[in-house]
Structure 1
Amino acid sequence: MKKNIYKSLIACVALLGVYACSDETGPYVSTYQVIELDGVPRSGSELYPISTNTVEAVETDSVKVTVNYAGEKSAPEDITVNIEINDQAIADYNASEDANYTALDPSLYGAIPSTVTIKKGESSADFYIPVYPNSFDLNLSNALAITISSASSGTISGNYGTRIYYIPVKNEWEGTYTQTVHWIAGVAEQTYSTKGVYLNTVGPTKNHVNYIGYYFGGNTYYEFNADGTVTATNGYGCTMIKSNYDKTTHNFYVHYTFIGTKYELEETYTRTGD
């Protein structure tokens, strides 16, 4: 009888431990309390996560930064979070990832708060950094790195305590398109169209979409060349066959292969909106 009681007690203690360490809601409250900068997850083993914040080509725009309380559904008390600009994080990221981000000069952005408060009962707090896009050097990959230096309670995230915010200026090709894809090789020959595909700015003449041919996961990048051609890349060794664009309508066409000649497709993008 005693043996069964001991077994039951051990099982209960184990169950309590699971709930105490879990991030689930229920009869037991999670003790997991982490302060982090919200945004897209880190890609693989990259040093810091990168968030892309495209701004308009105007005198003043802003970059939104969200500080999260991760753990319980809401903060049990007011949490004061100290933040700072961290240019060294950009230098370290470039060295680690063979990247070429440039830390924005202080003259290109306005004051940021030194502290942000996540209010009791809430799970996040936002602040905005003023930036001055018309003064950016568009040939650079301009970025700001933010670091949480301390917090009045909780643990600063090891993965998301520092985040780099890449700040491209919206180029003329960014907008909404209808994408028509014609697969010629690699998958069953087929043609389909997708409305509402959004081209995001990467650089002054470079944009990207999610997916490859709206079929495979990944990203496809399009460089709009001065000679009226377009270069498509997707990380799998694209070879261009034919391409063209119209600067008036911002429609464009690409025909290319990747992974040698294993996959071949044509894509036509018809601009439908900003």
Structure 2
Amino acid sequence: MRKIKLSLALGFAVVTGLTSCLKEDTILSKDESNNVIEIYNNVPGTIVSDVSSLYPLYSEAFDVVPSAPYIFRVSYSGADVAPQDITVTLDQDPAALDYYNEEFDKHFEVLPASKYTIPGWTVTIKKGQRIAEIPVEFKTDQFDLSKSYAIPLKIVSASYGTISKNYGTVIFEIIAKNKYDGAYKGNGYTFMGTSNTTAPFLWSIDCSWGLNLITTGANSVYMDAKPVYRGGSIIYFGGIFPNIVFDPATDKVTAVNASGPGNGYNYGFPAVQTPTYNSRYDAATKTIYISYNIINTTWYATDTLVYCGPR
């Protein structure tokens, strides 16, 4: 099953065990005798859908640029290479995206055709080969970064062979990242005014244990924490999934609120606000300094977040 993550905003920590279920490999093992025609992604780590999902979801993130290249791939998967030229036609399947949205309470929209270029949806797997490619260029500088875009891709026909039931329809989430987006490490603490005590929390020991800041708009990101290892145990931090808003001209934090997507574990807290502390993004070091408090409470949180790399 997919791990449930409780993101950090305050220092509430819960020790828990971890279990996971792995989705089957996209390419069948060489000892399989029956080949299938399928949509193939050669970076399995980008699959983000639950193993129970009817349609696999891959997440692909790109910088905000006029043209971001990508390749859709179709595979003749199994023990054998293509015995002849195989013409495969794909198309978009909005009904599959509607189903996924309903199944997992998501809000993906089909990426408008005006925001990418593609030579066509028909491709040929050559005799003796396994893979055929369709190049695409995403115009991510034209994306509305407040929206969640996806391309629900379906194999509608193949001139030879059997279309895969598992990977005949695949959804690709297409993300445009602002400059604050990425994987971070850092640490911080919370201050509880009523008891005059502090509660330290540790986002990451190094860049292998950290958090993601995920684009929610042209100048905003929300925190999505990974589990933290401490004292021989796995720690999850519960909180409010704060959404951080920056002034693009100064890189100062103008607002922190609880409107990030999160996973519903908001503990009933209202929006948060940034106090007079100089919360900001340092472009030279790619470091975010942030301090905020929960409205109508005595809770404060302070973080120093250091950029590790793209998420």
TM-score bracket relative to the smaller structure: 0.5 to 0.7
Which residue, 217, 229, 251 being the options, matches 2:288?
A: 251
List aligned pairs for 1:1-274, cutoff 5 A: 25=30, 30-39=32-41, 40=47, 42-72=49-79, 74-180=81-187, 193-195=205-207, 199=212, 201-204=214-217, 205-207=220-222, 211-213=226-228, 215=234, 223-225=243-245, 227-229=254-256, 235=263, 237-239=265-267, 245-249=279-283, 250-252=287-289, 268-272=304-308
C-alpha distance 24-142 of structure 1, shift in aligned 2 (>3 A): closer
Letter in 2 for 1:136: F
TM-score (norm 2): 0.60
Pick closer, same or farther for the CA change 1:56–1:175 going to 2, 3 Å.
same
Instruction: Verify the 8 A CA contact 1:80 1:116 in the aligned structure 2.
Output: yes
Greater relative contact order (Cα < 8 A, sep 6+): 2
Rounded to whole Å, the distance in 2 between the matches of 1:164 and 1:142 is 10
For 1:238 and 1:266, the matched residues in 2 are separated by 18
Deviations 1:22-44 (A, max 9, x none): x654xxx6322122222427413
**Identity across aligned pairs (percent)?**
25
Task: Report the number of matched residues.
Answer: 236
CA contact (8 A) 2:152 2:169 kept: yes
Cα distance in 1, alignment partners of residues 81 and 171 from structure 2: 25
Cα-to-partner distance string for 1:34-90 (whole Å, 9 max, x where unaligned): 222224274133232221222221222233312223211643443322111223322
Q: Is the 8 A contact 1:54 1:170 kept in 2?
A: yes
- Whole-Å separation in 2 of the counterparts to 1:216 and 1:78: 52
User: In 1, Cα distance between the equivalents of 2:211 and 2:101?
Assistant: 28
Q: Which residue of 2 aligns with 1:18?
A: none
From the superposition, tell whether residues 190 and 160 of structure 1 become closer, same or farther in structure 2 (CA, over 3 Å). Answer: same
> For the Cα contact (< 8 Å) 1:65–1:127, is it kept in 2?
yes
Partner of 1:261: none
Q: State how far apart, in whole Å, the 1-side matches of 2:188 and 2:144 are.
A: 35
Aligned equivalents of 2:227, 2:186: Cα separation in 1 = 11
Q: Name the stretch that deviates more: 92-101 or 234-243.
A: 234-243
**Alpha carbons of structure 1 residues 178 and 113: separation in structure 2 relative to 1, 3 Å:** same
Q: Which moved more, 1:206-215 or 1:36-45?
A: 206-215
Alpha-carbon distance in 1 for matches of 2:56, 2:116: 21
For residues 119 and 217 of structure 1, the distance between their equivalents in structure 2, rounded to whole angstroms, comes to 49
Secondary structure at 1:59's aligned position in 2?
coil
CA change 1:61–1:255 in 2 (3 A) is: same
Cα pair 2:58 2:173 within 8 Å, conserved: yes
TM-score (norm 1): 0.67
Give the helix-richer structure, 1 or 2: 1
Counterpart secondary structure, 1:168: strand
1:46 and 1:202, CA in 2 relative to 1: closer, same or farther beyond 3 A? farther
Give SS of 2:282's match. coil
Contact 1:168/1:203, CA 8 A, preserved across alignment: no
> CA 1:195–1:123 in structure 2 vs 1: closer, same or farther (change >3 Å)?
same
CA distance in 1, matches of 2:40, 2:290: 36
What is the deviation of 1:94?
Answer: 2.3
Q: How far apart are residue 161 of structure 1 and its match?
A: 1.0
1:206 to partner: Cα distance = 3.0
